[in-house]
Amino acid sequence: MKHLSKIVMAFIFVLGFTTVQAQDADNPWAIGLGVNAVDFYPVGENAPQGGFFDEYFNTGDHWNIIPAISKLTVSRYLGAGLVAEVGGSLNQINKFGDRSISDLAYYSADASLDYSLRALLNDGWFDPVVGVGGGYTWIGNKDGEDLANFDGATLNGKLGVNFWFSDNIALAIESKYKHAFETETASHFQHSAGIKFVFGGTDTDGDGIYDKDDECPEQPGLPEFNGCPDSDGDGIEDRQDACPNEAGLAEFDGCPDTDGDGVADPDDDCPEVAGLAEMNGCPDADGDGVRDDEDDCPNEAGPAENDGCPWPDTDGDGILDKDDDCPEVAGVAASNGCPEPTAEVISELNEYSKTVLFDLNKATIRPESEEALQSIHDIMHEYPQTIFHIEGHTDSTGSEAYNMKLSKERAVSVKTWLEKNGIPASRLTSEGYGESQPIATNNTAAGRQDNRRVEISLDKDKEMKDKSGDEMN
């Protein structure tokens, strides 16, 4: 023991002031193997023994040592720094204080309750220990000489220190005083040094990883994830796996991409069919911006407002049905897809209009004109987008002002009849031209008859006539 201070300094240099776990609730069990030395001298008795702690480190004169493993201990951590320890040792006694004696066999079995001061020193590698306990010691030889036949209980007190290399291995050095009750001369010191191996621990989830090292102590896990589980076996631990029960890819935080379209299944509205990210993983076969599962025509491009289908053009006039006021009849854009009357139709209208008769010098339509007006009405009804212009004309008989007034009133009479019979007012215009637009001479009765007339034209034709009339004037 005279080199104890040097040993302690060497361990300080090698280990530094690192923190280790040592024997605790997570490493409750420990086994110790070592050597022991028995010293009967510094026990406070008469010669050949000496006073208490006298020549305490005189290893050469007083210590009994055998060069072999001679001590075994087993200990269990109890909590709050307390450790229960049992152990056994053997030795060969040939020194009784200052006196040499014949070789005596030495056996002891001891139990103690130890307290570690390590927690008070910031849980470092240096672990002082104090303990009290008792034991049973037998010393003797076959001849029964000297201390032979000592066989009794002892009251033990000890001081020691553990130097922890790691969480599981320590160098243990201790000095224990054993007081013999029956034969005081049998009281002695027993010094020991050895290696302590710590093992065991709490493994709540039974995954082979002690709770102290287990980041998920309540769930069985894997060593590579510090005791945490990887339920789906995809190499991504559950704590970091957005889909812990489905094997997936790291790029998708552990979620799968079943259809391989680059959109993880939880974000993919169509996880079984490859699609586009902008469509939440659904396909758009016709590329019209409407995904297939919402597209009534998935293989024909069409606008979203028509559920992905192209707008129809039923009558084939180049005007889509949605913009075509006459979707089943070919027409022209100027009439919103409805047909416009041809020159033949206008001619037919005017054939009927020639037979519309009025009372003499009046705008009152005569009853026999009803059939002609009905025919005019029927033709106009076939062209629901066309604006018709009703013109009133007179001959030159009478004053110009009178003729102008009469022609206007007769045009209005025809317009009013048509409106009352279902032609919208918005599709009819009327004007009187008096005697200004004759189509025959006014010098003969036949010519004047031709000039007294009602004509029907398209509204745009009226505009053209007005322009031509202005040029002529």
- Note the pLDDT tens digit of each residue in 209-255: 888 889 999 999 999 999 999 999 999 999 999 999 999 999 999 99
The residue range of the domain holding 424 is 343-472
Q: Is residue 317 part of a domain?
A: no
pLDDT at 145 over 70: no
pLDDT of residue 415: 95
Q: Is residue 291 part of a domain?
A: no
pLDDT at 269 over 70: yes
Q: Per-residue b/e over 54-85, b at no fewer than 16 CB within 10 Å?
A: eebebeeebbbbbeeebbebebebeeebebeb
Q: Is residue 61 part of a domain?
A: yes
pLDDT at 141 over 80: no
pLDDT of residue 32: 97
SS3 per-residue string spanning the chain? CCCHHHHHHHHHHHHCCCECCCCECCECEEEEEEEEEEECCECCCCCCCECCCCCCCCHHHHCEECCCCCEEEEEEEEECCEEEEEEEEEEEEEEECCEEEEEEEEEEEEEEEEEECHHHHCCECEEEEEEEEEEEEEEECCCCCCCCCEEEEEEEEEEEEEEECCCCEEEEEEEEEEEECCCHHHCEEEEEEEEEEEECCCCCCCCCCCHHHCCCCCCCCEHHHCCECCCCCCCCCHHHCCCCCCCCEHHHCCECCCCCCCCCHHHCCCCCCCCEHHHCCECCCCCCCCCHHHCCCCCCCCCHHHCCCCCCCCCCCCCCHHHCCCCCCCCEHHHCCECCCCHHHHHHHHHHHCCCCECCCCCCECHHHHHHHHHHHHHHHCCCCCCEEEEEECCCCCCHHHHHHHHHHHHHHHHHHHHHCCCCHHHEEEEECCCCCCCCCCCCHHHHHHHCEEEEEEHHHHHHHHHHHHHHC
Percent of the chain with pLDDT over 70: 91
Angle at 24 between CA 195 and CA 218, to 5 degrees: 130
Query: Is residue 453 within 8 Å of 393, Cβ to Cβ?
Result: yes
Last residue of a domain, one of 199, 217, 245: 199
pLDDT of residue 192: 97
Tell me the mean pLDDT in the region 30-34. 96
pLDDT of residue 315: 84
pLDDT tens-digit readout, 399-436? 999 999 999 999 999 999 999 999 999 999 999 999 99
pLDDT of residue 126: 92
CATH number of the structural domain spanning residue 171: 2.40.160.20
Q: Is residue 238 part of a domain?
A: no
Last residue of a domain, one of 179, 199, 219: 199
pLDDT of residue 6: 42
CATH number of the structural domain spanning residue 420: 3.30.1330.60
pLDDT of residue 237: 94
Q: Is residue 331 part of a domain?
A: no
Q: How far apart are the first and last CA of the chain?
A: 144
- The pTM for the full model equals 0.48
CA atoms of 263 and 250, how far apart (whole Å): 13
pLDDT tens-digit readout, 286-339? 999 999 999 999 999 989 999 999 999 888 888 888 888 888 888 787 778 788
Q: Is residue 249 part of a domain?
A: no
pLDDT at 14 over 60: no
pLDDT at 466 over 80: no
Last residue of a domain, one of 199, 215, 236: 199
pLDDT tens-digit readout, 104-114? 999 999 999 99
Q: Is residue 32 part of a domain?
A: yes
* Range of weakest confidence among 170-184, 339-353, 454-468: 454-468
Number of structural domains found in the chain: 2
pLDDT of residue 142: 54
Give the mean pLDDT of the chain: 87
Query: Is residue 81 within 8 Å of 119, Cβ to Cβ?
Result: yes
Q: How many CB atoms lie within 10 A of CB 472?
A: 6
pLDDT of residue 136: 95
**Higher-confidence position of 212 and 48:** 48
With bands split at pLDDT 50, 70 and 90, how would you rate the model's confidence at 8?
very low
The identity of residue 394, as a single letter, is: T
Q: Is residue 284 part of a domain?
A: no
Tell me the mean pLDDT in the region 120-140. 90
Tell me the mean pLDDT in the region 270-297. 93
Query: Is residue 386 within 8 Å of 338, Cβ to Cβ?
Result: yes
